[in-house]
Amino acid sequence: MACVCILFTLKSFSEQCEVVGPAEPVFAVAGEDAILPCSVKPSISVVDMRVEWFRLDLKDSQPVHLYEDHDDRNTDQIQSYRGRTKLIHQELQRGDASLKLSSVRVSDEGLYKCFIQSRSWHDDATVNVRNVLLMGLIFQGWYPEPDLEWLDGDGVSLIPETRETQKHGQIQCETQHHCTSQRQPDSLQSQSETSHAGACFSIFPTVNVILDGDTAHPRLIVSDDGKQVREGRTRREAVDGKTDRFNEYRGVLGKDGFSSGCFYFEVQVRGETKWYLGVARESVIRKGWIRLSSVNGCWTVSLYNGKYRARESSYVLLSLSVDPQRVGVFVDYNEGLVSFYDVESMSHIYSFTNQSFNEKLYPFVCLGYYWNKNSTPLIICDDYK
């Protein structure tokens, strides 16, 4: 009879307890600290339990943070999180297993799982870290430094104290004056711009991208100002004798390369049914058929046969809630990062992280392979609204 009572007690415990995370995404700021909430309800001590944080959206099976046998055990922790994660041990007694993530990076954006396990029970919760604003990266080299006003989802101004208590709500920012970057690596001319409310991408360190018609596939038509490219019907290779053109992929590079720091540009893809865009290294193969992958020096996202994809060593299918009309490309050369954003929905599309760059990177756009029946141009944007 005693055994029956014990089993009944354990069953009741497992049915009543649950691991709870935030209902809304956690919005973080690069360079600052963030709290990823996770707790047990009702509040019971998890000091004697196993608490593991890991990334759902990474292939890496290593933990982000592991607590077990009353201690943090991070010898197998993902390298990029070393020294940046912490559980508040005194809070574990109250069932709070929230993770403090220090010095947030753009690559920290993604889906996290908080897994808690005892000898008789386990449960988990998912935490979505989104919209990692590049404040820490952007303001190095900007003069004058822009004043920012933080707004909630209704456009109401938030004072700092209010902002701290609304970590899980929709938070936006608005620049108060023009931001001008003094950093102009490899002759890339930075632009000034004024943002609209909530258009946080406008404070990225933008560059004036001009497409290099001399690298364009012979059937592509690049506008005189180098801001648009579309499919044409005539080949120009025999006329101008250029040898550096792409001859299979409908690709074209930007005129200026980038070999340090970070930069950002936007491309309008509205109406085009086949496209690739991102950056390519200077020595990228331009002749014949190649895989437009990071392995071959092309860091791109694409729309092909109605599917959105990225290409590392293999294809990564992207599940997007809306079709991007305007795509932002952010590159941090020193950090080995290439990130893509849907500008209009202000959402993250994909990031290549921990890349190794050893030569110049050039903006790259492409209208597919062999043939594109759609004459809608890809447009390099200048307004950044």
**Whether residue 124 is found in the same domain as residue 245:** no
Query: Which range, of 187-201, 234-248, 278-292, averages the lowest pLDDT?
Result: 187-201
Q: Tell me if 38 sits within 8 A of 114, measured CB to CB.
A: yes
Q: Check residues 298 and 193 and name the one with the higher pLDDT.
A: 298
**Whether residue 221 is found in the same domain as residue 367:** yes
Q: Is the pLDDT of residue 164 over 80?
A: no
**Whether residue 220 is found in the same domain as residue 369:** yes
**Whether residue 266 is found in the same domain as residue 377:** yes
Residue 75 burial (CB count, 10 A): 7
If you ran DSSP here, which 8-state letter would residue 22 be given? Answer: -
**Whether residue 237 is found in the same domain as residue 349:** yes
What token pair was written down for 81? 């999180």
**Whether residue 120 is found in the same domain as residue 224:** no
CATH of the domain at 47: 2.60.40.10
* 363 inside domain: yes
Q: Is the pLDDT of residue 181 over 80?
A: no
* 118 inside domain: yes
**Whether residue 120 is found in the same domain as residue 240:** no
What is the residue type of 275? Answer: W
Domain end residue (candidates: 95, 110, 132): 132
**Whether residue 253 is found in the same domain as residue 365:** yes
CATH of the domain at 240: 2.60.120.920
**Whether residue 350 is found in the same domain as residue 220:** yes
Domain end residue (candidates: 73, 100, 132): 132
- pLDDT score, position 126: 95
Strand partners, 302: 276, 309
Please, which pLDDT band fits residue 235 given cuts at 50, 70 and 90?
low
- pLDDT score, position 269: 93
* 197 inside domain: no
**Whether residue 221 is found in the same domain as residue 361:** yes
Written in H, E and C, the secondary structure of the chain is: CHHHHHHHHHHHHHHHCEEECCCCCEEEECCCCEEECCEEECCCCCCCCEEEEEECCCCCCCCCEEEECCEECCCCCCHHHCCCEEECHHHHCCCECCEEECCCCHHHCEEEEEEEECCCCEEEEEEEEEEEECHHHHCCCECCCCCEEEECCCCCECCHHHHHHCCCCCCEEEECCCECECCCHHHCCECCECCCCCCHHHHCCEECCCECHHHCCCCEEECCCCCEEEECCCCCHHHHCCCCCCCCEEEEEECCCECCCEEEEEEECCCCCCEEEEEEECCCCCCCCCCCCHHHCEEEEEEECCEEEEECCCEEEECCCCCCCEEEEEEECCCCEEEEEECCCCEEEEEECCCCCCCCEEEEEEEEECCCCCCCCEEECCCCC
* 194 inside domain: no
Residue 137 DSSP SS3? helix
* 170 inside domain: no
Q: Is the pLDDT of residue 47 over 60?
A: yes
**CA 22, CA 105: separation in Å to the nearest integer?**
20
**CA 203, CA 193: separation in Å to the nearest integer?**
8
Please, which pLDDT band fits residue 353 given cuts at 50, 70 and 90?
confident
Closest CA relative to residue 107, chosen from 74, 132, 139, 82: 132
Please state the rounded mean pLDDT for residues 175-200: 33
Counting residues of the chain whose pLDDT is more than 70, the rounded percentage is 72
The parent domain of residue 323 ranges over: 213-381
**Whether residue 362 is found in the same domain as residue 237:** yes
Domain end residue (candidates: 83, 115, 132): 132
* 337 inside domain: yes
* 351 inside domain: yes
> Domain count of the chain?
2
pLDDT digits (tens, 9 = 90+) for 62-106: 999 999 999 999 999 998 899 999 999 999 999 999 999 998 887
**Whether residue 125 is found in the same domain as residue 247:** no
* 51 inside domain: yes
Please, which pLDDT band fits residue 17 given cuts at 50, 70 and 90?
confident
Q: Is the pLDDT of residue 118 over 90?
A: yes
Mean pLDDT value across the chain: 77
Give the β-pairing of 307-311 and 315-318.
antiparallel
